[in-house]
């Protein structure tokens, strides 16, 4: 049988897809490079050419999730439905349409493994760099509409995303339920103050919780 030779980008994408399925089905310790190789029926040299370790593979999987979320949010923002909305309604739509954590809970839980602490922090940086510009765009639009008042839309977006991710993720630190509840309840007022938004504009964040 003739051996099928795939382009590097195609092969890499194929490996990430297979690994993503395995990380979704099993806990971190149960996923192995051998398991990915068997799933794809590829040689050891092939998978290690693209990913030197399981940690590298998980990082690629999570980056793939972030890119997928990025594409989904830009598509939503450019949709006819979203274009007809005001900035505050757009902001709410972007937040409530975020299902990355819910749909990939098992994968993201792998980031909480003790071995992956540095990776977890690094991926938070990737998340901020890629997602903040989307929210900044909406904040800028809100400033033009007089709904928000800030001279730093990009930085506001970065602070909001970073604060929410770090202060509510027990993988970074074992926050207590009381601490999480206290922060969740304060987020709407804090964001309204940061953006200069009308009181009650972000009460939906508590409703979403």
Question: Any idea what the CATH number is for the domain that residue 130 is in?
Answer: 1.10.357.10
**CB 156 within 8 Å of CB 194:** yes
Residue 96 lies in a domain: yes
Q: Is residue 200 part of a domain?
A: yes
Whole-number average pLDDT of the chain? 93
> How many folded domains does the chain comprise?
1
Domain membership of residue 17 (yes or no) is no
Residue 13 lies in a domain: no
Q: What is the pLDDT of residues 111-139, one digit of tens each?
A: 999 899 999 999 999 999 999 999 999 99
pTM: 0.88
Q: What is the pLDDT of residue 98?
A: 85
Q: Is residue 156 part of a domain?
A: yes
Give the pLDDT score at 73.
94
Which of 26-35, 92-101, 189-198 bottoms out in mean pLDDT, i.e. has the lowest?
92-101
The answer to whether 164 and 187 are in contact (CB under 8 A) is yes
Residue range 171-195: mean pLDDT, rounded = 94
Residue 2: predicted pLDDT: 46
Give the structural domain span for 164: 55-208
Q: What is the pLDDT of residues 9-21, one digit of tens each?
A: 999 999 999 999 9
Whole-angstrom distance, CA of residue 135 vs CA of residue 120 = 22
> For the chain, what is the HEC assignment?
CCCCCCCHHHHHHHHHHHHHHHHHHCCHHHCCHHHHHHHHCCCHHHHHHHCCCHHHHHHHHHHHHHHHHHHHHHHHHHCHHHHCCCHHHHHHHHHHCCCHHHHCHHHHHHHHCHHHHHHHHHHHHHHHHHHHHHHHHHHHHHHHHCCCCCCCHHHHHHHHHHHHHHHHCCCCCCCCHHHHHHHHHHHHHHHHHHHCCCCCCCCHHHHHC
185 assigned to some structural domain: yes
Q: Which is more confidently placed, 140 or 7? A: 140
Distance, CA of 21 to CA of 126 (rounded, Å): 22
């Amino acid at each position: 049988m003739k051996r099928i030779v795939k382009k590097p980008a195609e092969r890499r994408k194929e490996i990430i897809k297979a690994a993503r399925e395995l990380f979704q089905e099993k806990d971190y310790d149960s996923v192995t490079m051998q398991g990915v190789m068997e799933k794809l029926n590829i040689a050891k040299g092939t998978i290690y050419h693209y990913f030197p370790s399981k940690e590298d593979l998980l990082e690629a999987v999570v980056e793939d999730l972030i890119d997928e979320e990025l594409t989904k949010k830009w598509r939503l923002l450019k949709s006819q439905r979203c274009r007809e909305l005001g900035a505050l309604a757009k902001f709410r739509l972007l937040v409530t349409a975020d299902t990355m954590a819910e749909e990939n809970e098992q994968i993201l839980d792998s980031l909480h493994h003790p071995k992956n602490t540095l990776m977890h922090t690094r991926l938070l940086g990737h998340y901020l760099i890629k997602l903040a510009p989307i929210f900044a765009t909406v904040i800028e639009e809100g400033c033009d509409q007089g709904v928000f008042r800030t001279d730093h839309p990009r930085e506001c977006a970065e602070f909001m995303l970073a604060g929410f991710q770090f202060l509510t993720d027990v993988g970074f630190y074992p926050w207590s339920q009381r601490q999480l509840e206290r922060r969740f309840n304060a987020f709407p007022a804090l964001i309204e103050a940061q953006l200069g938004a009308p009181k009650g504009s972000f009460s939906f964040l508590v409703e979403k919780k």
